[in-house]
Amino acid sequence: MFQGLTFDPVELPPAAEALRREVREFLRGALAELPPEQRAESWTGFNPEFSRKIGAQGWIGMVWPKRYGGQERSSLERYVVLEECLAAGAPVSAHWVADRQSGPLLLRYGTEAQRTAILPRIARGECYFCIGMSEPDSGSDLASIRTKAVATDGGFIVNGTKVWTSHAHHCDYMILFCRTGEPGADRHGGVSQLLIDLQQPGIKVRPIINLAGDHHFNEVVFQDHFVPEGNVIGALGDGWRQLMNELAYERSGPERFLSSFVLVTELVRKIGPHPSEREAIVLGRLIAHLNTLRGLSLSVAGMLQAGRMPDVEAAVVKDVGTLCEQEVPEIARSLVPCEPDPASPDPFVVSLARVMSHAPSFSLRGGTREILRNLIARGLGLR
Amino acid sequence: MTAAENLLEAAAKRLFATHVTRALREQAENGVWPAALWSALEEAGLAQPALPETAGGAGGDLVDEATALIAFGRAAAPVPLPETMLAGWLLAAAGLPVPQGPLSLAPVRKEDRLTLVRRNGGWRLAGRMTRIPWAGAVTGLAGLAETAPGTYAVAWIDREAYQAAPGRNMAGEPRDTIDFADIVLPDNAVAMVALTADDLYRRGALMRATAMAGALAQVLDLTVRYAGERSQFGRPIGKFQAVQQQLAILAGQAAVASRAALGAYEILARGEDAGFAIAAAKARVGEAAGVAASIAHQVHGAIGFTHEHELHYSTRRLWSWRDEFGGESHWQAWIGRRAATLGADSLWPLLTGTLDG
C-alpha cells in the first residue's frame, strides 16, 4: 500500500556553510577567465586542468575514507561543493561521473586492489570515468542489453557496442554494464559491472556529434576485448541490484535543477534592477521553483547521508527538476526578445543558445522522464 | 521529524478522522458550528500548539504548528484553525491575553486597512474589512491596526462588538464583511506591537501554503486509491501508463508543496528571515494546487465532479486558499522584484540564504 513519499527536513551544518565560503572564493579566482558560453555548458564542460585544481583542494571524493584519498567529510558538505560549482558554471564534467557514481561504486563493491589503484587518482582529479549502459537497441529497456562478457582463461572476452557514452574519448575507465549469464525470469539476472581500462586493445571509440555540434557522446565498440578477472566489480551476475543502488545518487543531485542556472543569472542581469510587473512575475515564478527544488534535492541528500535509499524521491527530484531546467530557455526568450546565437558576444544571448540546444538532453540522460514517472508510479503502488 | 512530532501528527490525524465526516462538512457549509470538533481540538492542544502554556497554548514550537496545519488541510476540516493560530500569534506578540475558543483576524487582504485613534481614554476602531474568515462564528477578532502611518497596534475585538455580513469562499468557508464605523475599544484591549501589515500577510500566506500541502497530500491519496479501485477495459485504470504518468506528476506536485511549506516553517523556527522562503512557498504551492486539482479530477472522471464524492472538499479548498493571503502572481512579483533589486550576482546567495556572506 502507498505510504507517501518522504522528504525529511535537513539543515546544513555550520561546517558546510564555512566550506561554502571557501569554495565560492576559490571559484571566483579559478573561473575568472572562463567565458560565458563555457559556463553555460554547466556540468558537461570537460576541463582536466580545472578538475586537477579542484582535486588539489580536496573536493573530489571528499566523503571517502582518507586511506583512499578522501577527506571523510559529510555528503552535505559535498553537496555544497557541487551546488556552488554548478551555480558558478564550473567545468566539472571530467571528474563528475567518477566522483558521483564510479568512485562510490568501487568503494561499496570494489576489491581492495581496485580501490587503492583508482580512488586516490580520482580524488586528485586525474582519473576520469564514463558509464557504458545504453546500446544501439537498448535505451530505457536496459535489461535488453546484448554486450556480452564470456569467461575465458583468467578473465572475460567482451563483444558488443555501447552508445551515448559521454566523454569516452577523454576517459581512463568505463564501468561496463554487460551480460555475463542468462537473464532469468525477471530479466534482471546475469548482468554484471566490469571495470574497463579504455587504453587496452579491442576497444574502438567513435564520436557521435550532438545537435549543438559538440562531441560529448561516443559509440564504444568492443571487439574481443580481454578483461582480467580482477576487474569484476562486486558479485558476478549482481549488476542490476548494484546499479539500482547508484540511481538515487545519480538522480537527486543539484545537477538535476541547476543545468540552466547560468542562463537564469544572465537573465536577471539583463532585466536589471527595475523589472516590469510581467518580468517580475515570470522571473519570480522561476526563482520560486528553483528554491523549492533545492529543498527537495537537499532533503534527498540528507536521507542518503542517513543511510536510506530514497530512489522514488530521487526520481521526483529529477522529474520536477529537469522540467524546470528545460523551461528556463523558454522563459528567458519570452522576457528578452533576441535571436539565440552561439557565437554572440552578449553573455545572455550566447548562454541562451547553449542552454536551448542542450535542454532536450536534460530529461533523457540518467533515465527518461517516462521511465522516472513509471518508477514514481511503482512507488505509489500502481505497478 | 522527531518522535514527539510523529505523536502529534498521529494524534491530529486520529482526531480529524473521528470528527470530520461528510455530514459534519455539509452542516458546516450550511452554517452549523462544529462544536464537538472544536472542543476536541482545544483539548488536544491543537488550537494553539506553538504558544507558550502561560499564554494559553500547548507550549510546543512552530514545527508543531506546521504539523497541525498539514493535518488540518488533509482533513478538509470546517473550522478556523489557521485563523485561531494567527490571531493567537498576533495577540501574544502584543502581550494581550489569548482567549479560548475559535478566533479570527483582520485585515486579511492587502486592500483593507484598519486604523485606531485615541478617543475618550479608549480607542476608536475604523475600517471596512472584507473576506474575514469565520467572523460570525468566532469568539472575537485580533485586529492589526495602524495608530499612525507605519505604527501598529493589536486590538482585541469581541464578537459582541460587530456585525458580520456573511459571505463564503469556494469551499463554503465563511468569509464575512465587517464595517467598523464607530466602535470604541477599552484601553486594555489594545497594545502596540512591533509587527506590520506585511508581517501578518506573510504569516497568513505561510499558513495557507501549509494547509494546502495537507490538502494536496489528501488529493494524491484519494486519486491513487480511486485509480486502484476503478476498473475499465478489464483492469484498474491505475494499470494504464497514461494514468500512471499523470499520477506521478501529481505525486511530484504534492511533494514539492509539502517540502516548500515545511522548509519555510523550518527557517522561521530557526529564527532566521523567512520572507523569501515564505513567498516562494506560497507561489509554488499555489501553482501545485492548480496542477494537482486538475489531474485529480481528470483521473476521477465524472464521479469526482459530483457533490456526492468527497474530492471536492479538498479541491474547492485548494482553489480558495491559493488566492487568499496573496495568489501566485503576488508572491512571484515580490520575489522577482527582490531578485532584480539584489542583482544577478546575488541570485545564488538569495537561494542559499547567504546574502551576507
Q: Which CATH superfamily groups domain B197-352? A: Butyryl-CoA Dehydrogenase, subunit A, domain 3 (1.20.140.10)
Nearest-CB residue to B351 (from A294, A320, A370): A294
> Is A268 close to B352, i.e. CB distance below 8 A?
no
Strands (E), chain A: 129-132, 148-152, 155-162, 173-179, 191-197, 203-209, 215-228, 232-233
Quick check: B280 and A287 CB within 8 A? Answer: yes
Strands B140-148 and B103-106: parallel
CATH classification for the domain delimited by B96-195, as one of 3.40.50.700, 3.90.1150.10, 3.40.630.30, 2.40.110.10 = 2.40.110.10
A335 touches chain B (CB under 8 A): no
pLDDT in tens, A111-128: 999 999 999 999 999 999
How far is the alpha carbon of A379 from chain B, nearest alpha carbon, in Å?
A: 9
Question: Which residues of chain B make contact with A288, given a CB cutoff of 8 A?
Answer: 279-281, 283-284, 287, 331-332, 335
Nearest CA-CA partner of A340 in A325, A328, A355: A355
Inter-chain contact B328–A285, Cβ cutoff 8 Å?
yes
CB contact under 8 Å between B259 and A299, yes or no, is yes
* Separation of CA A87 from chain center: 15
Give residue limits of the domains in chain B. Answer: 1-79, 96-195, 197-352
Q: How many CB atoms lie within 10 A of CB A364?
A: 14
The CATH classification of domain B1-79, taken from the options 3.40.50.10470, 3.20.20.70, 1.10.540.10, 1.10.645.10: 1.10.540.10
> Min CA distance, A219 vs chain B (Å)?
31
Task: Mark yes or no for CB contact A83/B266 under 8 Å.
Answer: no
Buried b or exposed e, range B112-138, using 16+ CB within 10 angstroms: bebbbeeeeebbbbebebbbbbbbbbb
Burial A275-296 (b: 16+ CB within 10 A, else e): beeebbbbbbbbbbbbbbbbbb
Rounded to a whole number of angstroms, the distance from the CA of B31 to the nearest CA of chain A is 34
- pTM score, whole prediction: 0.96
Comparing alpha-carbon positions, the chain B residue that sits nearest to A285 is B332
The torsion angle over the Cα atoms of residues A21, A23, A26 and A31, rounded to 10 degrees, is -120
CA distances from B185 to A267, B78, B93, B126, B134 (A): 52, 30, 19, 11, 21
β-pairing, B235-236 vs B231-232, is: antiparallel
Which pLDDT value is given to residue B120?
Answer: 87
Handedness of CA A279, A282, A285, A286 (dihedral sign): negative
Cβ(B195)–Cβ(B153) below 8 Å:
no
| Closest-approach residue (CA) in chain B for A299 | B259
8 Å CB contact of A9 and B266: yes
Q: What is the pLDDT of residues A304-328, one digit of tens each?
A: 889 888 999 999 999 999 999 999 9
The answer to whether the complex's ipTM is over 0.90 is yes
Q: Average model confidence (pLDDT) for chain A? A: 95
Structure confidence at residue A1 (pLDDT): 43
pLDDT in tens, A257-289: 999 999 999 999 999 999 999 999 999 999 999
Per-residue pLDDT of chain B (357 residues; tens, 9 = 90+): 566 668 899 999 999 999 999 999 999 999 999 999 999 999 999 999 999 999 989 999 999 999 999 999 999 999 999 999 999 999 999 999 999 999 999 999 999 999 999 998 999 999 999 999 999 999 999 999 999 999 999 999 999 999 999 999 999 999 999 999 989 999 999 999 999 999 999 999 999 999 999 999 999 999 999 999 999 999 999 999 999 999 999 999 999 999 999 999 999 999 999 999 999 999 999 999 999 999 999 999 999 999 999 999 999 999 999 999 999 999 999 999 999 999 999 999 999 999 985
Rounded CA Rg of chain A: 21
Question: In chain A, which residues have their Cβ closer than 8 Å to the Cβ of B252?
Answer: 316, 319-320, 376
With DSSP H G I counted as helix, E B as strand and the rest as coil, what are the percentages for chain B, rounded to 5? 55, 15, 25
Closest-approach residue (CA) in chain B for A267: B344
Select from B239, B260, B335 the Cβ nearest to the Cβ of A284: B335
Closest by Cα among A98, A350, A5, A101 to B216: A5
Distance (Å) from the alpha carbon of B333 to chain A's nearest alpha carbon: 4
Q: For residues B34, B36, B39 and B45, what is the CA-based torsion angle, rounded to 10 degrees?
A: -90
Spatial contact of A303 and A8, defined as CB atoms under 8 Å apart: yes
- Which residues of chain B have a CB within 8 Å of the CB of A291? 260, 276-277, 280, 284, 351
